[in-house]
Structure 1
Amino acid sequence: MTETLTITRLGARGDGIAEGPHGPVYVPFALPGEVVTADVEGERGRLLGVETPSPDRQAAECPLFGHCGGCAAQHMAPLPYSRWKRDIVLRALAHAGVEAEVSPLVDAHGAGRRRVTFHARQVEGKATVGFMAARSHALVRIESCPVLTPGLASAPQKARALAGLLLPRGKPLDIQVTDTSGGLDIDIRGLGKADDRLRAALVDAARALDLARLSLHGDILIERRPPLVTMGPAAVVPPPGSFLQATAAGEETLAALVMEACTGARHVADLFTGCGPFALRLARQAKVHAVENGAEALVALQRAVRNTQGLKPVTTEARDLFRRPLLPPELDRFDAVVLDPPRAGAEAQVRQIALSRVPLAVSVSCDPGTFARDARILVEAGMQPIRVVPVDQFRYTHHVEVVGVFARPTQQKKKGKGGRS
């Protein structure tokens, strides 16, 4: 049913919210203060037109905005956009009952997203590569994307060329492309086993497309050049398809906040370390114990440590921190603990930190909700949130990174006097 609505506020996913006769109505791409017409079904509204536009509305930079599901907020001017993202963190903390000062949003988009996952499907008999439409399983064909790095400009075309070889087998694919100093690093998922003939065809395609590396389900088919990624003082070759911060600027920003928080610490535990974006930087000023469940990521970290001069000792441990978190006797030997868990957060590990005597915890999170849940555990244990910083490396989306620094009261008094010996 078509209705005329007045938008009063923004939701956590960027939807405009209007008060309907039966409760809130969520209208994507609408802004507070706007009078809009929408096709309403239940609590969802599909924007049909803007009768009274907000002064905070701006033109989207991508012609696919509103159709492609990748971006939610290209229509927001910079100031209301940054307020909206900071408010996401504020609301999450309030919901968890955590009182903390939240800094203004830090823009960490930089040159753009350096990794992207394309979906590949057969559409009308042709290989189509793109992103999913908003709230839909329909595939939107992508030729270019304004939020990607210039190094990924050719990524849709190269992903489509690879998909053309594989989609006749009838399986939808995910094609992850990473921009590295050696060129494009591509890992293909969803195909299953490939026979020798198909693997040879993929290797030939990698050469023709001038890829740095091509992998299938993490199995390297060919590495023509090392797909190097700079992490502070080191050059790292991440495992195929492994996690990286979305933007290089985002990694630098998060690492700078972590480094600043750990100033004076002599021995640091870096939990959920991945390939070591924090560990490799922290090792310039402290001994580091890096813990990660993925053995391949730790191998990449160890190789980078061996090839980098000027670092203090870095030890590594392969360990599932969800099932076997570090316990208080293990934690108590550190001056600081840094943790950067997946979206689910690190509740089991945080509970052990709360029981320990470690004086400083630095939490890096890609989910404000689980960040706030874990923060509450630390606060209830007597640690105080001395800094919470939202970081924006997922421009135009509802995703926001958070860095929180938590200290025991005795540590706050000692701030500036170095860590424990």
Structure 2
Amino acid sequence: MSERELEVTELGHRGDGIAPTETGPVFVAGALPGETVHADVVDGRARKPVIKTRSPDRIEPICRHFKTCGGCSVQHLAERPYLDWKRGLVVKALADRGIETEVAGTIAATAGGRRRAVLTATRAGRHTLLGYHEKASHRLVDISECPVLDPVIVAALPGLKTLAAQVMPKKGDLRLTVLATTAGLDVAIDKADKNYDHKIPALSQKVVELDLARLSVNGEVILEVRPPLLDMGGVGIVAAPGGFTQATIAAEHALSDLVLRGVGKAKNVADLFSGVGTFALRVARNANVHAVEGDAAALAAFDKALRKPQGLKKVTFERRDLSRRPLVRDELEPFDTVVFDPPRAGAQAQAEQLAISTVKTIVAVSCNPATLARDLRILIDGGYTLQSVTPVDQFHYSPHIEAVAVLTRE
């Protein structure tokens, strides 16, 4: 261990400051580019850093939990450099794969706060804690506020804590997935005590008291007061309990606008990794769409929405694990455009099939710049031209960034 003076020159992909030294880079949590820091250095990381020279881009964090909660890493960085940093994450990931292209400015899509939160609850003696884990720790921060969440979720935190306490297992943690819908909060509790059956009347009463739309425990719907609806471009979807949806409405709109712009006047579109139809239902206003998704619950929600007249073009769907069994070249033949939005692992197997296809336009949506860059490299090597890349920020103050890329084949 040695105390040193460090000059921070850049912000890493996890939000830590990076100071170059003769023995390699040193990561300094909480530091910003342009700052001078005194700290002990252990295994390439600064311990107990003291900032001697402050960056003009440093601002006061807006949350009392910032120093302990692992949910936000860059609340202390001003808006403009923050959005530039997010764009830089995409630029660097592309450059690492040898892709030099113009990347648009980051679209800020955090307005209204996150409508979906995954919270953890645990016992602490006779008390119940509810919140997020500390950074790189199993310790839980019992949150009383969260500026990145929809205010409706924040207001419900005390009630959610009492709800969790009723089904807390003797050992281990609970997970609560909370989604703000047009009908109220949809709460899905996982890893609850297996003997929660005798508490169903009390849980149902709590649902009414908290005015929840729906409560599910360990995959079982306990009570649905109102269908928890999501508006997907004018089509109402009842999401599966704990199911995936875009974290903010602003981001969903921004991503959808970019997808629709990329699809253009296509007539036949395949929407791969389609989820509940976030993009498919919007694209189907003007084009025939075939949606492919591996999650049965998501497809069930999609199917239910399609059973009502919606004024859409022809929409078909199938359940398929595209990571293991991608659409092959012949199956892609009917489509002039393909949209894909895979999980963080990306769509390597599908990209390899698209690279040898005749599809004219591909719109790639991703929540992971590294796997997006890998998949784009495959497509470019297969003859596609990268036309645009646009970052979309919906995870405020975190290192996560979405991006939409459009490619065409001459």
TM-score tier after normalising by the smaller chain length: over 0.9
Matched, 1:178 2:183: no
Task: Give the deviation of 1:166 after TM superposition.
Answer: 2.1
CA distance in 2, matches of 1:12, 1:133: 18
What's the counterpart of residue 104 of structure 2?
103
What's the counterpart of residue 270 of structure 2?
269
Matched, 1:129 2:130: yes
Matched, 1:374 2:395: no
CA distance in 2, matches of 1:40, 1:182: 52
CA distance in 1, matches of 2:310, 2:24: 61
Moved more, 197-206 or 138-147: 197-206
What's the counterpart of residue 319 of structure 1?
320
Confirm or deny: 8 A CA contact 2:118 2:177 kept in the other structure.
yes
Matched, 1:75 2:86: no
> How many residues are paired up?
409
Confirm or deny: 8 A CA contact 2:28 2:49 kept in the other structure.
no
What's the counterpart of residue 385 of structure 1?
386
Task: Give the deviation of 1:6 after TM superposition.
Answer: 1.2
**Map 1:34-73 → 2, pairs under 5 A:** 34-73=35-74
Confirm or deny: 8 A CA contact 2:167 2:193 kept in the other structure.
no
Confirm or deny: 8 A CA contact 1:120 1:174 kept in the other structure.
yes
CA distance in 2, matches of 1:45, 1:260: 45
**Map 1:121-160 → 2, pairs under 5 A:** 121-160=122-161
What's the counterpart of residue 210 of structure 1?
211
SS of the residue 1:255 aligns to = helix
Matched, 1:235 2:236: yes
Confirm or deny: 8 A CA contact 1:28 1:47 kept in the other structure.
no
Deviations 1:148-171 (A, max 9, x none): 112212232122111211225333
Deviations 1:25-54 (A, max 9, x none): 101110111011234221112353211101
**Change in CA separation of 1:222 and 1:250 when aligned onto 2, cut-off 3 Å:** same
Confirm or deny: 8 A CA contact 1:30 1:47 kept in the other structure.
no
Confirm or deny: 8 A CA contact 2:352 2:379 kept in the other structure.
yes
CA distance in 2, matches of 1:288, 1:250: 22
Task: Give the deviation of 1:196 after TM superposition.
Answer: 2.3
Task: Give the deviation of 1:21 after TM superposition.
Answer: 4.0
SS of the residue 1:167 aligns to = coil
**Change in CA separation of 1:216 and 1:404 when aligned onto 2, cut-off 3 Å:** same
Moved more, 197-206 or 322-331: 197-206
Moved more, 176-185 or 33-42: 33-42
- What letter matches 2:117 in structure 1? V
CA distance in 1, matches of 2:14, 2:286: 39
Deviations 1:169-216 (A, max 9, x none): 333111110001111101111126334203333223222222110112
Moved more, 343-352 or 208-217: 208-217
CA distance in 1, matches of 2:160, 2:22: 47
What's the counterpart of residue 294 of structure 2?
293
What's the counterpart of residue 414 of structure 1?
none
What's the counterpart of residue 347 of structure 2?
346
Deviations 1:229-257 (A, max 9, x none): 11102111000011001100100000000
Q: Which runs of 5+ in 2 are unaligned?
A: none
Moved more, 292-301 or 365-374: 292-301
Task: Give the deviation of 1:109 after TM superposition.
Answer: 0.6
Q: Which runs of 5+ in 1 are unaligned?
A: 410-421
CA distance in 1, matches of 2:209, 2:190: 21
**Change in CA separation of 1:229 and 1:386 when aligned onto 2, cut-off 3 Å:** same
Confirm or deny: 8 A CA contact 2:168 2:193 kept in the other structure.
no
SS of the residue 2:383 aligns to = coil
Moved more, 45-54 or 123-132: 45-54
Runs of 4+ in structure 1 off by over 6 angstroms are none
Task: Please tell me the root mean square deviation across aligned C-alpha atoms, in Å.
Answer: 1.3
What's the counterpart of residue 19 of structure 1?
20
Task: Give the deviation of 1:382 after TM superposition.
Answer: 0.5
**Change in CA separation of 1:33 and 1:301 when aligned onto 2, cut-off 3 Å:** same
CA distance in 2, matches of 1:46, 1:214: 44
CA distance in 1, matches of 2:196, 2:11: 51
- What letter matches 1:385 in structure 2? L
State the TM-score, normalizing by the size of structure 1: 0.94
State the TM-score, normalizing by the size of structure 2: 0.97
CA distance in 2, matches of 1:239, 1:136: 30
CA distance in 2, matches of 1:195, 1:177: 19
SS of the residue 2:8 aligns to = strand
CA distance in 1, matches of 2:151, 2:162: 19
- What letter matches 2:298 in structure 1? A
- What letter matches 2:149 in structure 1? L
CA distance in 2, matches of 1:336, 1:323: 22
Confirm or deny: 8 A CA contact 1:27 1:47 kept in the other structure.
no
SS of the residue 1:130 aligns to = strand
Task: Give the deviation of 1:135 after TM superposition.
Answer: 1.6
SS of the residue 2:396 aligns to = coil
Task: Give the deviation of 1:4 after TM superposition.
Answer: 2.4
**Change in CA separation of 1:376 and 1:220 when aligned onto 2, cut-off 3 Å:** same
CA distance in 1, matches of 2:199, 2:133: 27
**Change in CA separation of 1:314 and 1:194 when aligned onto 2, cut-off 3 Å:** farther
CA distance in 1, matches of 2:58, 2:231: 37
CA distance in 1, matches of 2:377, 2:227: 42
- What letter matches 1:133 in structure 2? E
Confirm or deny: 8 A CA contact 1:26 1:45 kept in the other structure.
yes
What's the counterpart of residue 357 of structure 2?
356
What's the counterpart of residue 413 of structure 1?
none
- What letter matches 2:353 in structure 1? Q
